[in-house]
Amino acid sequence: MALTADGSEQKELTQTPLLKIWVPWMGCNLNRRRGSSVPQFCNSPTMIVMVGLPARGKTYISKKLTRYLNWIGVPTKMFNVGQYRREAVKIYKNFEFFKQDNEEAMNIRKACAAAALKDVTAYFTKEQGQVAVFDATNTTCERRAIILNFAKEKGYKVFFVESICEDPEIIAENIKQVKFGSPDYVDRDIEEAMEDFVQRIECYRASYTSIDDDKDRKLSYIKIFDVGSRYLVNQVQDHIQSRIVYYLMNIHVTPRSIYLTRHGESELNLLGRIGGDSGLSPRGQKYANALAIFIKSQNIKDLKVWTSHMKRTIQTAEALGVQYEQWKALNEIDAGVCEELTYEEIQRDFPSEFALRDQDKYRYRYPKGESYEDMVHRLEPVIMELERQENVLVICHQAIMRCLLAYFLDKPGDELPYLRCPLHTTLKLTPVAYGCKVEPFFLNIEAVNTHRERPVK
Amino acid sequence: MLDNEDFVLDTSPRELTQNPLRKIWLPCKNGHILQRRVCMTNCPTLIVTVGLPARGKTYISKKLTRYLNWIGVPTKEFNVGEYRRECVKIYKSFEFFRPDNEEGLKIRRQCAMSALNDVRQYLSVEGGQVAVFDATNTTRERRGTIVKFADQNGFKVFFVESQCEDPDVVAQNIVQVKLGNPDYIHCNTEEAIEDFMKRIKCYESSYQPMDETLDRDLSYIKIMDVGRRYLVNRVLDHVQSRIVYYLMNIHITPRSIYLCRHGESDLNIKGRIGGDSGLSARGKEFARNLRKFLQEQNIKDLKVWTSQMKRTIQTAESLEVPYEQWKSLNEIDAGVCEEMMYEEIQENFPLEFAMRDQDKYRYRYPKGESYEDLVQRLEPVIMELERQENVLVVCHQAVMRCLLAYFLDKSAKELPYLKCPLHTVLKLTPLAYGCKVESVCLNVEAVNTHRDRPENVNVQRSTEDALQTVPAHF
């Protein structure tokens, strides 16, 4: 170690081989690293607490929010108290379970909530979780006070998300979409299920107290009215809560589809070379034409088309003969010094890099390039805008498409880089219930295979 | 919007050509670039402030305008008070604002109309995208007039209401921005405050805040108590969503932002751009001086941010405090020109070098980035800087220029030529409607890395002309 002018030791910096992050060389004592390259989203763990009558979209919001936070790198887990109840009471008879005067049921429900809170603690303390989404009705002041005390004791932040809606059509649609398929109603026909569920809602209504804008003015919360027509936001404490509010204010439930595809086969694809900015091969051009025919046949209302800034996606879009918007954020992963090389050449010239990439393909950063993790970060505004939009066709690249797909299909970091996104195949994603339906359309134009399997250890 | 009839199958696809300056692929035919079908944000937006005097409307208007322009949305603010000062050269007293002052009311209405006319000019003729109409707009009637005006002209309307009843905040507001106002130039502090309080009273009786029920079809955000609470209604599009997000992240707690570059690096000394080299001996000395400087400043809860490049991290390491690495703070990617000297760029890529001088903001290095790209990737940094309080950002020349341009409201044309020398710290402190800048040179010699725009930017220019402004190096 070099000595500085005043005699103190100056620690040298060394670049970690996988992430390409500069850290002070401290021998084996990496724990005392001062610099953090992981975004500091939150210091203390945060509990997001849902509030609202049944069929107000709490679970929909919980699942979506959890998926989004995990995708942007904030370890998040959802705790649905209804599931705990289904564990405890194997068979659901009817709405009477939820009656206010049903003491036995009340005790079970309280115990379930407590069990869920216990698991929240375990998630934060033992599993390094950062955010827990506590999904239950939490419709009484009393219940919310219990949660607040619990959080205060443990040093967790609390952010309430209340969904308020009295539009009977929305509620009926909600019940149809997600309640009929629920384990509670598996053996019931639609009319019975609907009738029972409506009674269930009534059981909560009498004791429902909305978060009070005056009495609860010190709490941090967002109230969502009528599926996003209006919001009330109170006391946002920190960065993560601000991001959550922004996300919740951008999502909607209007039915629509998102089409994801790669550019047509490119000249460099044919040569087995990665990256670069080449044009389409003849087969790639055929695919672009086939895509135009396919899109027309889908009869899509008000379709937006997005491409990257790279020639091959733009050429593909040109064949559609419609307006398209170019996003630099949709550019393929920057392979740095490995740009335009074949995998054989990378193995020959950078064997240790090649090995490191296979060790942790999600976090591995190319020298002077990017990692999948970096790409997720730059794709976040794209995802946010996709949430705002309705029907969109995104013409992009293999690594990009994997990142976007992982967001929609809730795939974790270690699966993301191995998702199959072959050339000349369009994926149609349609939100359904709590998830996403995927329909692949192979447009019958041959292309090279660019997929590299996860190597066997 | 497209119907299926718009899907004309082009059997002979349009050729693409890459714009040499911006490196954007555009369709062309027979060598002519075809009019690119640009996706604009549909119709222009009129942002309308609402609120009693001294509620921060002008502060919000100016800040929002600055932010939108920085992210590339042409925006202009129209302050009706200024129109009134043009019209009524000398402000006598609050009596002008009395609700029963017929003549005063007439003048004020005319001023509002005049401002709206200029709004129309800006949005419909001059290519503006957002106009911020800054006035009290405290009655439903006045707001109705504006909505009608917007409908007639095809503008979207988004209201931004600021409500605050905390007397301390209002008083602080008056002290910060009203006392220095042209209206009160000839008054002493007490007189001014007294008059202004009476002025506010003139509006109070007729004030009709935005109402959840009556105004449920309008798009608006109601900001309560300087951001403790927000009510957001009917956000229509992307721009409005971004505006809401921005407004929800800004605060007025006093704080300072320190901007500086890494210490002088080994590549700096050689006159080479980019790369990922370490600090020179002088750079290390700067880092030590920076540590002393910060200790002397006695800053409460200072956050330190760096890029992920060695030279900024080495600089931060000397501070011996926790720091956070942001990849978005990395220096501009010079693509094929990375680690070259300007002389080498001129020798190998004379065309590129000339084009960069022609439009330094939009120019994108081959396989690299432009300043315009940098602004886009720095937007989350700016958003987080708005949320934070005391922060030191250790970054790079081009990055620092972008951040500085945001805080000091510099145009795209000026941005790439802002002076950000090595070994100098800029302390930015929000003040009234702008930002106070204190420049502190930490007394360690360093090479100059600033290149002014040369006189001759023609692609045919001589090597001598091209290298006219290249700074000296070892």
Instruction: Please tell me the distance from the alpha carbon of residue B344 to that of residue A260, in angstroms, as a whole number.
Output: 42
C-alpha distances in Å from residue B210, one per residue of A49, B162, B244: 29, 10, 16
Long-range contacts of range A172-181, CB-CB < 8 Å, 24 or more positions apart? A174/A55, A174/A56, A174/A57, A175/A55, A177/A432, A177/A433, A178/A59, A178/A60, A178/A433, A178/A434, A179/A55, A181/A433
Shortest Cα–Cα distance, A296 to chain B (Å): 6
CB pairs < 8 Å spanning A and B:
162
**pLDDT of A5-49, one tens digit each?**
444 445 688 888 888 889 887 554 444 455 666 666 557 999 999
pLDDT at B52 over 80: yes
Q: Would residue B82 show up in a list of annotated catalytic residues for this protein?
A: no
**Strand locations in A140-241, DSSP E?**
157-164, 221-225, 230-234
Question: Which of A68-72, B278-282, B347-351, B429-433 has the lowest average pLDDT?
Answer: B429-433
Question: What pLDDT score was predicted for residue A364?
Answer: 96
List the beta bridge partners of residue A435. A432
C-alpha distances in Å from residue A175, one per residue of A55, A181, A194, A231: 6, 9, 7, 23
Residue matched to tokens 């692949």: A440
Question: What pLDDT score was predicted for residue B32?
Answer: 66
Average pLDDT of the residues in B304-330: 96
pLDDT at B396 over 80: yes
Long-range contacts of range B249-253, CB-CB < 8 Å, 24 or more positions apart? B249/A242, B249/B383, B249/B386, B249/B387, B250/B63, B250/B386, B251/B226, B251/B227, B251/B386, B251/B387, B252/B56, B252/B59, B252/B226, B252/B430, B253/B389
- Among the residues of A25-102, which ranges form H helices? 58-71, 81-88
Contacts of A329 in chain B (CB under 8 A): 376
Question: What pLDDT score was predicted for residue B1?
Answer: 40
Average pLDDT of the residues in B27-45: 65
Average pLDDT of the residues in B151-162: 97
Shortest Cα–Cα distance, B385 to chain A (Å): 11
Q: Would residue B369 show up in a list of annotated catalytic residues for this protein?
A: no
Contacts of A324 in chain B (CB under 8 A): 37, 39
Alpha-carbon Rg for chain A in angstroms: 25
Question: Which of B77, B161, B285, B331 does the annotation list as catalytic?
Answer: B331
Nearest to A13 among B7, B238, B314 (CB): B314
Question: Which of A162, A184, A216, A332 does the annotation list as catalytic?
Answer: A332
Contacts of A252 in chain B (CB under 8 A): none
Closest among B305, B318, B452 to B393, alpha carbons compared: B305
Instruction: Count Cβ atoms within 10 A of the Cβ of residue A372 and give its class: 0-12 exposed, 13-18 middle, 19 or more buried.
Output: buried
Question: What pLDDT score was predicted for residue A178?
Answer: 81
Instruction: Please tell me the distance from the alpha carbon of residue B443 to that of residue B437, in angstroms, as a whole number.
Output: 18
Across the interface, do B309 and A299 touch by the CB < 8 Å criterion?
Answer: no
Question: What pLDDT score was predicted for residue B13?
Answer: 64
Instruction: Please tell me the distance from the alpha carbon of residue A48 to that of residue A102, in angstroms, as a whole number.
Output: 28
> Is B267 marked as a binding-site residue?
yes
| Most B-contacting residue of A36, A230, A301 (CB-CB within 10 A), to test interface | A230
Instruction: Please tell me the distance from the alpha carbon of residue A49 to that of residue B95, in angstroms, as a whole number.
Output: 52
Instruction: Please tell me the distance from the alpha carbon of residue B50 to that of residue B403, in angstroms, as a whole number.
Output: 30
Contacts of A233 in chain B (CB under 8 A): 229-232, 248
Shortest Cα–Cα distance, B316 to chain A (Å): 9
Contacts of A376 in chain B (CB under 8 A): none
Question: Which of A112, A162, A184, A263 does the annotation list as catalytic?
Answer: A263
Across the interface, do B9 and A302 touch by the CB < 8 Å criterion?
Answer: no
Question: What pLDDT score was predicted for residue A12?
Answer: 80
Question: Which of B161, B262, B369, B423 does the annotation list as catalytic?
Answer: B262
**pLDDT of A233-254, one tens digit each?**
999 999 999 999 999 999 999 9
Average pLDDT of the residues in B160-179: 91
Average pLDDT of the residues in B149-160: 96
Burial profile A242-260: b = 16 or more Cβ within 10 angstroms, e = fewer: bbbbbbbbbbeeeebbbbb
Return the percentage of chain B with pLDDT > 70, whole number: 95
Shortest Cα–Cα distance, A68 to chain B (Å): 17
Structure tokens at B173: 């507001």
Across the interface, do A35 and B313 touch by the CB < 8 Å criterion?
Answer: yes
What residues of A form the annotated binding site?
A: 262-269, 312
B81 and B186 in contact (C-beta within 8 Å)?
Answer: no
Average pLDDT of the residues in B296-313: 96
Nearest to B313 among A13, A279, A385 (CB): A13
Instruction: Please tell me the distance from the alpha carbon of residue B282 to that of residue B264, in angstroms, as a whole number.
Output: 6
Q: Tell me which residues of chain A have a pLDDT lower than 50.
A: 1-9, 28-32
Q: How confident is the model at residue B35 (pLDDT cuts 50, 70, 90)?
A: low
C-alpha distances in Å from residue B216, one per residue of A56, A229, A263, A368, B11: 21, 9, 44, 52, 50
Closest among B264, B310, B313, B305 to B285, alpha carbons compared: B264
What residues of A form the annotated binding site for substrate?
A: 262-269, 312
pLDDT at B3 over 90: no
Angle between helical axes of A398-409 and A372-388 (0-180°, round to 10): 60
| Most B-contacting residue of A43, A160, A214, A328 (CB-CB within 10 A), to test interface | A328
Comparing A345 with B43, the larger pLDDT belongs to A345
Shortest Cα–Cα distance, B330 to chain A (Å): 11
Across the interface, do B7 and A320 touch by the CB < 8 Å criterion?
Answer: yes
Count CB atoms within 10 A of the CB of residue A92.
18
B23 and B111 in contact (C-beta within 8 Å)?
Answer: no
**Strand locations in A85-156, DSSP E?**
131-135
Question: What pLDDT score was predicted for residue A111?
Answer: 95
Q: Would residue A96 show up in a list of annotated catalytic residues for this protein?
A: no
